[in-house]
Structure 1
Amino acid sequence: MLVTLGFTMVALFMVLIMTKRLTPVVALILVPLCFAVIAGAGAGVGDAVMDQVGEFAPTAALLFFAIVYFGLMIDVGLFDPLIRLILRLCGNSPVRVVVGSAVLAALVSLDGDGSTTFIITVSAMLPLYLRLKLSPVVLTVVANLSAGVMNVIPWGGPTVRAATALGVSPSELFNPMIPSMLAGMVAVVLMAWALGVSEKRRLQRQGLEMSLGTVQTVEVVESRELALSGGGPRSRTGGSSPAAGSAGDGGPAGGDADRGALDPGRPTLRPRLIWFNGALTVALLVLLGMDVLPLPFLFMVATAVALLVNFPRPAEQVERIKEHSSSIVSVVSMVFAAAVLTAVLSQTGMDTAMANWLVDVVPDAWGPHLAVITGVLSMPLTFFLSNDGFYFGVLPILSQAAAEYGISGVEMARASIVGQPVHFTSPLVPAMLLLVSLAKVELADHHRKVIWRAVVLSLVMLLAALATGVIPLG
């Protein structure tokens, strides 16, 4: 019964948010609670939720101050030179901009922190998307896919968890998987190229429709003027039509192009402090990579220093925080709401029941192929469960069964990490919630475009691992 309730709960939750019948926050809270009542859970659910909220509190604090900090850096113009450089390299080409977004996200992902990756990528690229009238959903999709593939690096988390759970060396696990990761990144670039081509065609269609509409309007006006004046036809060769020009390779890039993050006249710019802000940001990123202090604490201190130096007046500091409050409330509320879903899954035993059921339904004849099966199962299981739940709860069970067929622990560990592109699209991943919040994208719109592509990426990585022999076929 718990298995049925668990899968039904997750399915209903996904349907409600993808059809936009409920907001993610409401769905994350009410749907699990309804199923907790059906499962017969008592008042202990409340204590479990509070415990989970306490565990999520550092993540919420990190996201809160990270949003404020990088929002401030955008306000003061720290990223303007980088944005202009990328714009010059990408030109007005949607294809180059989208592919550049994927590459940038992959490079930033080397620090191993998804939240930092998405903050920097969105901060740098979103103004270009708005300038060229590209869909921000495309940005969130390619950033999500790149970060998902790069999440298998040893310091990213899943690889260390898998190595620890099965008692193998992280380097022995990861190094043979590098070709698989590279294959995944090639697939990401190809997907980004296809999305860029699609956006280019969309802009061209819109440009053509606008041009046709303008021409028809001009012809109607001229015909009326001709009928009233009784004169002959007038030539239109003396000037250019308001619709002259087309979307070309990138679409409109004027008008509102320099507003927002690239507005050279915005009052929050601090050009004289660019070196200070740059040094502060570099120091913050270095300390984040060194992992010598808690990440939320680092962002708290950096935000306080940035506010004090760039906006010394208290009224200005309050105004800057208010400016970014909508993003803060959106993402932090979803993080705490996700604590309800996680707590209900664990408190009712649904997560364990679902995992054990999946292991039990594997026929004995499939035993020699358990490594491949683990790679496939890692997609849905890491989507519905936390990485801790999968790697410390499910993987040891699968590995123990696989050992009877001569499949080593390190091979099972390698198979277990290929589902990370799918895992990174889960609403249980705070960094993904931060991504859609920063880009002001609906979670449903993001999921419709990203989940199936993430599944394809995981399969590409699995096939590459099978082709190179680091995961046994049987």
Structure 2
Amino acid sequence: DLGPMMLKGVETIAPTAVMVTFAILYFGILIDAGMFDPLVNKMVKLAKGDPLKITIATAVLSLMVGLDGDGTITYLIVVTAFLPIYERLGMNKLILACLPAMAMGIMNLLPWGGPTARLMTIFKYDAMELLQPLIPSIVIGALYIIGLGVFFGLKERKRLGIIDIEPGSYQEIAAASLEMSSENLRRPKLFWFNVVITLLLVITLLTNTLPLPALFMIGFVIVSIANYPKLKDQKERIEAHAGNILTVTSLIFAGGIFAGILEGTKMVDAIASTLVNITPDFLGPQLPSIVALTSMPFTFLMANDPYYFGIIPIIAETATGFGLTKLEIAQASLLGQPLHLLSPLVGSVYVLIGLVGIDFRDHIKFSTKYAVGTSLVMIITAIIFGVLSL
């Protein structure tokens, strides 16, 4: 009986896998084409020798580049851009590790990010249905990250002061930040074209003009043909991002099979009914808030897969016994992601500390309190806007 259950699970998550595939390709093409290069250049030049401007620019760039949902790429671009100037001014490099990690904790909630894609796989929710109520939390969380940049910058400015750097140094730093992007891949003449296409994509995404998988398929076709008209170049760009795609989509398909078996055998229903019977009545209505708070330690101590594929479906089914919806539990489970991005179980964190040149222990010690703060701000915002009930 497992065969039909597995296939049914794969069928239900196919749209999510398509969306993730083309979202990664879309943003990968734009990064290859250098759409973010002017932003990196501008921020390095504007920051000059003022630690406050530098930390704010670090936070803003991390949030902007984090739109692709890939922590590794975000860390590569942001750290490569700002590490020379942090070292030149003698600024605390732990800040350069903290701000991008916090930003990715928020950007990871986007539909093509890991946890949201898993929840869409399990519960078959549309991306906007799942995330639209959380937009205030995401926006306030992003503002909190920028506020952290201000806080760090004021501390560093007090410690170091504002340091004059020779004008030529800015060009050197900016040039160094772009070394990772091959010159023959960049398309500076198509910068505004790529920006306009991306804005149109965001608008159509928010207005639900077309299903998300279709939007990213169309967007990818447009930017790939416009930026790399030769078929050979398009093939090379797809191959360059194939590793990221395979890592995520293979997991999504496996998760779909897992969810299909759980649903088909009614295992989740049985476990949930047992939990409903043993959970005190007064705790039942508080499950969304409890899930939001416990998602921080859970996702730090375990990988996203066992948490979202194993624990959340059971809690969601349990919540229905108390008159709550599975959607509330799914949304609550996302709010602990800022702490998850510091977990030793997340591969990209090793890329981050390797690029910055710091110890993992120091990174955790410095950033944990700010990650918890980011999650708490997002949880409080969700409660204020009625996403989480008390």
Match of 2:138 among 172, 177, 181: 181
Q: CA deviation at 1:167?
A: 3.4
* Cα pair distance change 1:140/1:290, threshold 3 Å: farther
Cα pair 1:132 1:252 within 8 Å, conserved: no
Query: What is the letter of the counterpart of residue 298 of structure 1?
Result: A
Match of 2:292 among 365, 368, 375: 375
Match of 2:322 among 405, 418, 424: 405
Cα pair 1:165 1:396 within 8 Å, conserved: yes
d(CA) in 1 for partners of 2:351 and 2:101? 11
Cα pair 2:44 2:82 within 8 Å, conserved: no
Query: What is the letter of the counterpart of residue 131 of structure 1?
Result: R
Structure showing greater Rg: 1
Q: Does 1:106 align with 2:63?
A: yes
Gapped runs of 5+ residues in structure 2?
1-27, 192-197, 199-215, 222-233, 244-271
Q: Does 1:198 align with 2:155?
A: yes
Query: What is the letter of the counterpart of residue 70 of structure 2?
Result: D
Q: Does 1:423 align with 2:348?
A: no
Match of 1:444 among 354, 361, 370: 361
* Cα pair distance change 1:154/1:258, threshold 3 Å: closer
Q: Secondary structure at the match of 2:335?
A: coil
Q: Secondary structure at the match of 1:152?
A: coil
* Cα pair distance change 1:183/1:255, threshold 3 Å: closer
Q: CA deviation at 1:124?
A: 1.4
Query: What is the letter of the counterpart of residue 96 of structure 2?
Result: L
Cα pair 1:97 1:196 within 8 Å, conserved: yes
Q: CA deviation at 1:299?
A: 5.4
Q: CA deviation at 1:254?
A: 5.4
* Cα pair distance change 1:179/1:296, threshold 3 Å: same
Other-structure match for 2:82: 125
Cα pair 1:168 1:409 within 8 Å, conserved: no
d(CA) in 2 for partners of 1:106 and 1:80? 15
Deviations 1:39-96 (A, max 9, x none): xxxxxxxxxxxxxxxxxxxxxxxxxxx9xxx9xx9xxx99997655323322322111
d(CA) in 2 for partners of 1:112 and 1:252? 35
d(CA) in 2 for partners of 1:394 and 1:93? 46
Match of 1:141 among 98, 123, 126: 98
What percentage of aligned pairs have identical amino acids?
33
Query: What is the letter of the counterpart of residue 375 of structure 2?
Result: S
Q: Secondary structure at the match of 1:414?
A: helix
How do residues 270-289 of structure 1 correspond to structure 2 at under 5 angstroms? 274=183, 276-279=184-187
Q: Secondary structure at the match of 2:324?
A: coil
Other-structure match for 1:251: 163
Other-structure match for 1:343: none
TM value normalised by structure 2: 0.65
Cα pair 2:44 2:174 within 8 Å, conserved: no
Deviations 1:302-327 (A, max 9, x none): xxxxxxxxxxxxxxxxxxxxxxxxxx
Q: CA deviation at 1:168?
A: 2.7
d(CA) in 2 for partners of 1:169 and 1:462? 22
d(CA) in 2 for partners of 1:390 and 1:382? 7
Cα pair 1:162 1:416 within 8 Å, conserved: no
d(CA) in 1 for partners of 2:123 and 2:35? 44
Other-structure match for 1:209: none
Cα pair 1:133 1:252 within 8 Å, conserved: no
Give aligned pairs, total.
293
d(CA) in 1 for partners of 2:74 and 2:357? 17
d(CA) in 1 for partners of 2:146 and 2:68? 20
Q: CA deviation at 1:171?
A: 1.5
* Cα pair distance change 1:277/1:450, threshold 3 Å: same
d(CA) in 2 for partners of 1:294 and 1:391? 34
Q: CA deviation at 1:447?
A: 1.0
* Cα pair distance change 1:260/1:448, threshold 3 Å: farther
Cα pair 1:94 1:134 within 8 Å, conserved: yes
Cα pair 1:118 1:435 within 8 Å, conserved: yes
* Cα pair distance change 1:362/1:186, threshold 3 Å: farther
Q: CA deviation at 1:116?
A: 1.0
